[in-house]
Amino acid sequence: MLRIMKQFLQGKRKKITFGDIASDALPTHLAIIMDGNGRWAQQRGMPRAAGHRAGAESLRGVVNVCGELGIRYLTVYAFSTENWKRPQEEIDALMGLLVEYIEKELDALKKNKVRIKAIGNIEQLPPSAYTRIKKAEEETAHNERLFLQIALNYGGRRDIIQAVQKIAADVVAGKLPIEQIDDGSFAGYLATNGLPDPDLLIRTAGEKRLSNYLLWECAYTEFWFTDVFWPDFRSVDLYQAIYDFQHRQRRFGGLHEQSK
């Protein structure tokens, strides 16, 4: 009975389009955990690498839509510090796909004024991937339409630990008085330094956890989860997430009247 009711309600739900999105209430910073590539491929009897390739196509579409909507910052979780535990064959495929994506999309990204930046310990990536990423960062450094931040070999806990280490070093060196350490100064030592915290985080494939992603930055981020695997994520799904975000009340620990 519950399943039937759910299907009925979903069938009655309005299909959100570009025109339903309020241009004056967009999330300034959108974060995405692109999950479900491997499961998408396995369900189709394909190698996991095929799922990652299909996921790259979804990323292309989301980047285009974000640019069209006017979203300023997009951060995507591409490879975590824990992903090194995966089979070497899959890791090699992911790194190869990263290089291929940058080489294939760089001209289009420059044309569309998209700036690319990688966060995480990218110096530990294979040389070919590291070189392509640095090249993309340099060639798009002056673009201002959309800031595309790619989390590669990134972990939220490690980022916080590294920030604490840098703060401690500056305190010892006399560069930073202890009494000046606060939320703002701490954030300046994180990989996301200079960017506003994410307003909305989307996670695909039915999982409902952060998985060590932007732990400090997501303190007051709105979460939106979907069962759709990332390779199947389309503009209509993004519109729905933003539409739902625009109809939430963000109080940041205060009362609704205060947030107004």
Known catalytic residues are 35, 83
Burial class (CB in 10 A: 0-12, 13-18, 19+), 112: middle
Q: Contacts from 45-54 at CB under 8 Å and sequence distance 24+?
A: 48/90, 48/93, 49/89, 49/90, 49/93, 49/94, 49/97, 51/229, 51/231, 52/90, 52/93, 52/94, 52/97, 53/97, 54/231
Nearest partner of 187 among 156, 142, 150, 209, judged by Cα: 156
- Distance in angstroms (rounded) separating the CA atoms of residues 127 and 135: 12
Q: Radius of gyration over alpha carbons of the chain, in Å? A: 19
Contacts for 221 with CB less than 8 Å, ≥ 6 apart: 31, 197, 198, 199, 200, 201, 214
For 193-196, the CB contacts below 8 A with 24+ separation are 195/29, 195/73, 195/75, 195/147, 195/149, 196/28, 196/29, 196/73
CB atoms within 10 A of CB 176: 17
